[in-house]
Amino acid sequence: VIMRDLGRPMWVHHEAYNEDVVDGPQAWQTTLLISPDLGDYSVIEASDSGTTMLPSAIAMPTNGDGPIVVAAHAVAPQPQYMDAWRSDLRWLADQCVEGNVIMAGDFNATLDHMSGLGEGDGDLGWCRDAAAETGNGGAGTWPTSIPAVLGSPIDHVLVSSAWEVSGSIVVTNLDDAGSDHRPLVAQLEPAS
């Protein structure tokens, strides 16, 4: 509603795990906003075959013209979840196919963790990291309790060859807004 009131309406797609738990962690929810300028989209249920413990969402264009948009959320690499974390990263790599893909979210992984999961010149699957391409790949997006220069870059915007990255920034002036992650904004242009 806020985006609409600002003159930029968005389609809202939502994926949630454990909806029956009252006041569960916010990490159990993933919301994807897509501009109507990209066309109509349908969200594929990813909960059965997607990331293991936290929801990811895959939005497919219903008219075939727009990009596949993936909102990613991999589980954190805590000792008891290491196998699930590796599985999540492999599954996310499989979603970064050749063609027209934009994937963004909390990967709970740096580019070093993704090493070996890229195809061709991709950092994860066939996708390239927008922040790394624009010189911001080392800026820490987590946690907001420490300066970005000391944080971990675990949030990413990844794009396939259909997109050129013309800019990116890790937003550091909202560290007290309530999240323990910093926003990562990437500017993308269709590849010529």
What domains are there in the chain, each with its CATH number?
2-190 (3.60.10.10)
pLDDT in tens, 106-146: 999 999 999 999 999 999 999 999 999 999 999 999 999 99
Question: Running DSSP on this structure, what letter comes out for residue 68?
Answer: E
Instruction: State the pLDDT at residue 8.
Output: 94
Q: How confident is the model at residue 53 (pLDDT cuts 50, 70, 90)?
A: confident
Give yes or no for residue 47 having a pLDDT over 50: no
Q: How confident is the model at residue 19 (pLDDT cuts 50, 70, 90)?
A: low
Q: How confident is the model at residue 192 (pLDDT cuts 50, 70, 90)?
A: confident
Instruction: State the pLDDT at residue 15.
Output: 76
Q: From residue 143, how far is each of 4, 12, 150, 191 by CA, in Å?
A: 30, 27, 9, 33
Q: How far apart are CA 187 and CA 169, in angstroms?
A: 9
Tokens of 164: 């050129």
Instruction: State the pLDDT at residue 54.
Output: 85
Tokens of 31: 């919301």
Q: How far apart are CA 188 and CA 3, in angstroms?
A: 19
Q: Report pTM.
A: 0.90
- Dihedrals phi, psi of 61, to nearest 5 degrees: -70, 130
Q: What is the mean predicted confidence (pLDDT) over 16-28?
A: 63
Q: How confident is the model at residue 46 (pLDDT cuts 50, 70, 90)?
A: low
